[in-house]
Structure 1
Amino acid sequence: MKIECFIVFAFIPWYGAQESGSLNYKFYPELNGWLKLHTAIKAFDGAKKTCENEDAILGSPTGLDLLEKMKDLTRDGFNVPTSIYTGIKTYNGAYFSIDRKPIGKSAAKWGKGEPNYDRIEGKDICLLLQPDGTLATENCDSTRPFVCYKKVEKPEDEQCGPTAIDKEYRLDKQTRRCYKFVPEVKSWNDSVWNCLEEEAYPSTVYTVEKALAIKEIYTKKMLQEKTKEKTNVHFIGFRYYEDVEAWLTVFGQSIPEAAFWSNEQPIPFKDEKPINEQIACGAIDVTSDKPELSVVSCEEKYPSICEKPAPDEESVED
């Protein structure tokens, strides 16, 4: 009898570290996300683009756990002490990470002799994470290694909170704000109270970026529900106050003040007294290709937009 022997090679996967869809990402439970070290050096914009192409962001030490893991990855990835790019750079003179957290939220502190602006020569300023876990200034055109960070996403209807009301809101990742389109038509005052009852406020849509964000959410909502509202005009959170003769937001800010956020473009608005004191409440057309603020009668009934910060944001107003 002839006996044939077969050798079977079995591949047994190792589950010591989970990996995301992109090669070489490692999952860290304490971060609820993945990290990947890129040893190929790039300028800041190139590093930012690389992470975006991997559905991630350029990592910043915004928490102590994230700081420690970025330090560990850098130490283990190089034979000599090496500084890497963070996602923090200057915007209008202030430091913010790519996910819009101010430098005060960073777990890392300035290194010795930092910030040092002498070597930057007036160019854009980006921040490095040094081997000892401190921050240093750098010219954004310089090339450095970097770490990409990919956070585990919650289901879409849980990104604004766990309650039934929270689940009616939708998160815009760029503005870090949660929005809800209220289809029931109400007067401006009633719309304001409706938002406040949900621990939100009438939307402060005063920049083009925010207007485009809510337009995208609105369009997706209409497609999902296969419905069409009677009007595209929605109340938002500003009006003319006769006692102070000024257009103010529900937070008491002027429109230009409310429109400021890093490098975003304010929506043009004519700050003039209304011809009719009844037509004095703020609105916006959520379907317009060119976002424009408008004013309508405060007593007319329109749908509205409520807004609140994402759960991981502390500030109420931009």
Structure 2
Amino acid sequence: MIVFLLLGALCVAADGSQYRFDYSYHEIAEGWFKVHKIPASWDEARVRCDLEGAVLASPINVNVTSALTELMKQAGPDLECGVFTGTNARFSKGDYYSIEGVPLLRMPVEWVPSEPDNYNNEEECIVMVGNGSIADANCSMVMPYVCYKKAGKIVPVNECGTSDNGYKLFPKTGNCYKFHTQARNWSRAFEACSAEGGYLAIPNDRVEAMHLRDLFRDNLNRAAITTKFKNVMFLGFLDINRDGVWTTVHGSRLEDNYAGWKQNQPDGRKDGQVCGAMFQDGELDDFWCRDLAPFACEKTVDSLI
């Protein structure tokens, strides 16, 4: 009953009291914001916001600009050098647009003195400083950033406590699972699950392992589109110290959960196969962390509430 009440609180109208617990609503901007204080490149920032169901924020109008400057002021020294915005000219030199397609010329901002300078002809991204003015910057530098989710008439939330309908509830565990067909390396797969409010799926027992196997099989044809490694998917365990001790992303030993290795596995620690994976038949494998493979995420129903 408590879970249903929580989900009901998350499914709200555009007055915006909730989106997910790590976003704050700004009524004047009609949307939710999240400040990422840990610096990232522009590409990394854009991807992270997208994975969270938002966009890399830009000063697209007076109200959003006001909200951004307020958030930067509240953050204090952590954002004193500015934040990446979603405004960029990566498609055509000098033609700046926000991710939503708003041209820079339509935005209520002014350049910092002596900007733009397109230093070394390598500055295609826009940084916003605390007073609301902007400068061009190299997209590969690392900066804090802000994600923005514009409010709609209603925020639809499913039984998994998310608006991402890729997640489906598995009653036997009480958790929700999503198969990602877009192949990533293990680290990027971890990032994707984390951004969605979950984690790389952990097979805690045979029942859960067989559910993950079925999830893999049901999506196998789609998975083959984005990777040559269609016979394995990444899961949430690894040999982090390369000492033969396999642990889950939650810190427990794999052998205390479900150590259902395929025969003769694991076999590649010395060759760098230290990230956890599962074969199509549901048995476990060690795999190269750097290679691309599909993966499964798991989340609790209340992880975003």
Instruction: Answer whether TM exceeds 0.5 for this pair.
Output: no
Rg larger in 1 or in 2?
Answer: 1
Which structure's relative contact order is higher, taking Cα pairs within 8 Å and 6+ residues apart? 2
TM-score normalised by length of structure 1 = 0.41
Of Structure 1 and Structure 2, the greater helix share is in 2
Q: Scaled by the length of structure 2, what TM-score is found? A: 0.43
